[in-house]
Amino acid sequence: MGTGFSNIKNESGSNGFVLSVKTWREKLKGIGIIATAGRYRSGTFAHQDIAFEFASWISPEFKLYLIKEFQRLKNEENDRISTGWDVKRTLTKMNYHIHTDAIKENLVPAELSSNEKNMIYANEADILNMAIFGMTASTWLKQNPKKEGNLRDYASVEQLVILANLESLNAEFIKSGLSQFIRLGKLNEIAIYQMKAILGTKSLGSIKSL
């Protein structure tokens, strides 16, 4: 191969030098381009990467088109990912109404002040946070002082799916009169089980792209 390359290198200074596909493949053992002769299947065939590079070299218009098309596809991919996350975030917000209604009807005495009621809601929200994220909202804020929003804004799609499930389940647990300690244990077990199930399913890709 070294000798073949040396010969081609020496000949390349000549004005009449042409490097054919056949010579390239035979002397340099090149791959990626095939030249065939025949009645029905003749021509030069190249790997798409080589074809794109060649077309970009001879046509600035094609190169610009290729760049624009790549950018368009990346934007569409990013939009799908963003939309999928937003759908799951909206789902958890909708289910949260079920959760807060259960708290209001079963855990919040009518005589409490607004601040005291808010503390109960926040405390129950942290039950869900502890069950799935392993920390409270205030703990996350202390660990991430420079980030905007809250820990749920940085949750994965899988975590948001499970969070929506836990909101509904916790609402039922509250109605059943289970203590906060028991509910936290049950919710944490369910969160672990569901995360393992989601990560192990073959349809995880479709979950992310909804």
Burial 138-166 (b: 16+ CB within 10 A, else e): eebeeeeeeeeeebbeebebbbbbbbbbb
Clarify whether residues 38 and 137 are in a common domain: no
Clarify whether residues 100 and 11 are in a common domain: no
Clarify whether residues 180 and 94 are in a common domain: yes
Clarify whether residues 186 and 82 are in a common domain: yes
Clarify whether residues 163 and 114 are in a common domain: yes
Number of Cβ within a 10 Å radius of residue 193: 11
Half-sphere exposure of 25 (CA within 13 A, CB side): 12
25-50 pLDDT, tens digit per residue, is 776 677 777 777 767 667 777 788 88
pLDDT the model gives residue 209? 35
62-78 pLDDT, tens digit per residue, is 888 888 887 877 777 66
Q: In a 10 Å sphere around its CB, with 0-12 CB exposed, 13-18 middle and 19+ buried, how is residue 190 labelled?
A: middle
Total domain count, the chain:
2
Clarify whether residues 90 and 36 are in a common domain: no
Whole-prediction pTM value?
0.47
